[in-house]
Amino acid sequence: MTSLPEPAVLVLEDGTRHTGRAYGALGTTLGEVVFATGMSGYQETLTDPSYAGQIVLQTAPHIGNTGMNDEDPESRRIWVSGYIVRDPSRVVSNWRADTSLDAALIADGIVGISGIDTRSITRHIRAAGSMRGGIFSGPAAGLDPEEQLRSVQEAPQMAGRNLSAEVSVDVATITTALGDRIGDLAVLDLGVKQATIDNLAARGFDVHVLPQNVTIDEIRAIDPVAVFYSNGPGDPAASDGHVELLREVLDAGLPFFGICFGNQLLGRALGLGTYKLPFGHRGINQPVLDKTTGKVEITAHNHGFAVDAPLDGPFDSPNGYGKVEVSHIGLNDNVVEGLRALDIPAFSVQYHPEAAAGPHDANYLFDRFAAMVRENKDAK
């Protein structure tokens, strides 16, 4: 007879407790508890660096039946601080699987919990907002409840955290362009995903993935045709250095495209503010209106912060970059989902157009970026 997994408990900072069973590594982990609504693509979620510092709850009840494979990771490791599922699969049932989800979590030291009411927790977070939490499993599950709660309440808030250095590469890497070459592209790695690199290379860019502490002189040294800011974790208000670097990029007249965290940083470079959402957008089913085409796209999101900007009509950049407009709007809550500068070659979106493992409605944005860079080259 198979023995039951070790006990585990999830503790939220407001004192809410849920008792379940250990899933993944045993021990203690702390982070911001958030929920992700995707019914598939959990491997891409787990390996997305944007989730660093967060304990991710899957709203889909049954997780793990397709296992984990060596082809689909979005980065070099699992980045979530912890993992919450209701019913982990007992077996792996996919021909592409190389290991089980449980084994992958253990290998990367990710503490998780299973067998708890994830619907109840999701509803609680939707009402009260994302909050700090801790998973305590194995011997740690038996710690005094007051001690567990104190550990959670003493953990750092996500607001004000700069996590870019934790997820960025230390040494620059290059991915060679496919097809008709446009030129060298400087990608600031704030938590970039492999699918993003692949999509940029497929559009004709030699993709230089650069450490997050790169300088404008180091960017100029590769003679780039454009600059790209990736997705990533943390509070954009805690990334003043990346904002100043981006202003130097814009001042140099280099075309710019940013996604997710890169959208927030473009907003700040243009002179706009950012703010923390109550519980964020995380999933692969978020409807967004592209104001340019009038089309509604179903998009992949992972963000807890957003840009504060007027939704209707162009407005002046407070930092002197000319006219700007909100290009995309989230239809669930009217959050800014994209920015476009009208007088300089720069735009960004808040979601993930590479969208591994889907949907692919927004993949055209890579084509839009390539076209903008070609036009900028032809105009010189």
Residue 1: band (very low, low, confident or very high) from pLDDT cuts 50, 70, 90: very low
Whether 352 is catalytic is: yes
Q: How many CB atoms lie within 10 A of CB 88?
A: 23
Q: Residue 6: left (phi > 0), alpha (psi -120 to 50), or beta?
A: beta
Q: Computed from CA positions of residues 109, 95, 359, 227, in that sequence, does the dihedral angle turn out positive or negative?
A: positive
List, for residues 21-72, the tens digit of each pLDDT value: 999 999 999 999 999 988 888 998 999 999 999 999 999 999 999 999 998 8
pTM of the shown model: 0.93
* Per-residue pLDDT tens digits for 322-367: 999 999 999 999 999 999 999 999 999 999 888 666 678 888 999 9
> Any idea which residue has 């003493």 for tokens?
154
Does 228 score more than 90 pLDDT?
yes
The Cα–Cα gap between 54 and 127 comes to 19
Catalytic-role residue among 18, 242, 260, 328: 260
Q: Choose the catalytic residue: 18, 242, 301, 352.
A: 352
**Per-residue pLDDT tens over the stretch 251-286:** 999 999 999 999 999 999 999 999 999 988 998 889
The amino acid present at 253, given as its one-letter code, is G
